[in-house]
Amino acid sequence: MEKLTHIDNDGNAQMVDISPKKITERTAEAYAEVYVSPKTMAAIHDNTIEKGDVLTVAKIAGIQAAKKTYELIPLCHNILISKIDIAFELVNEQNLIKIKSFAKTEAKTGIEMEAIVAASTAAITIYDMCKAIDKSITISNIMLISKNGGKSGDFINPKFEKINV
C-alpha cells in the first residue's frame, strides 16, 4: 500500500518537504460541469444576466482562485504559476456548461490543485452570478483530467473518458 505523503509516521498532518526535488515543467487540466435551467442557459448565452457577463467573471474568478490555492488548501505549497486558462463549452440541449482549466508551472511540486481550484471556482461563480433566477443550479463531476511532469510521471483520468466530452 502506498504511503500518504501528507501524513507523518505518527498519523499527523504534515506539509511535504519538497526541497530535495528538482524543478521541472508541470501541467494539469481539470474539469467541472454546471447544469442550469433552460431559462438560465438562454440568459447566459444572450448575456442578459443582471450581474454581468457570467463566463468572463467566472473565468477571472477561477484564475484568481488558482493563484490563491495555497491559502485555501492548508498543505499546498505556494508555487509560481506560469499559466492558467479556463474554457467553457455551452451544451444547450443539456443545459450544461462544461468547464476545463489548464495550469502550468516550473516547480518542485505539481499544479493539480491549482487546476482543480480554478475549475471549481469558475463553477461556483456561475452559480453566484445566476442564483437570482435559478437556485437549482447543480455543480458536478469536478475532477483532475490529467497531469504531466514530476517524479510520479503523467496521469490521465480514466473516469474523464466516460463523460461525453
Contact 112, 76 (CB under 8 A): no
Residue type, 143: M
Q: Does the residue 154 lie in any domain? A: yes
Q: Is 85 a catalytic residue?
A: no
In a domain, 14, yes or no: no
Q: What are the cell numbers at 24?
A: 521541472
What are the mean pLDDT values of the chain's consecutive 10-residue runs (165 residues total)? 74 84 95 98 96 97 98 94 98 97 96 98 98 97 95 90 69
Q: Which of 10, 17, 53, 128 is catalytic?
A: 128
| 3-state SS, residue 100 | strand
Any domain includes 55: yes
Q: Give the C-alpha separation, 2 to 107, whole Å.
A: 23
16: in domain: no
| CATH code of the domain containing 74 | 3.30.70.640
- Count structural domains, the chain: 1
Task: Give per-residue pLDDT as tens, 16-57.
Answer: 888 889 999 999 999 999 999 999 999 999 999 999 999 999
The domain containing residue 139 runs over which residues?
A: 24-159
Residue 165 burial (CB count, 10 A): 12
pTM listed for this prediction? 0.93
The whole-angstrom separation of Cα 149 and Cα 138 is 33
- Cell, residue 87: 474554457
Identify whether 19 is part of a domain. Answer: no
Domain presence at residue 87: yes
Per DSSP, the three-state class of 14 is coil
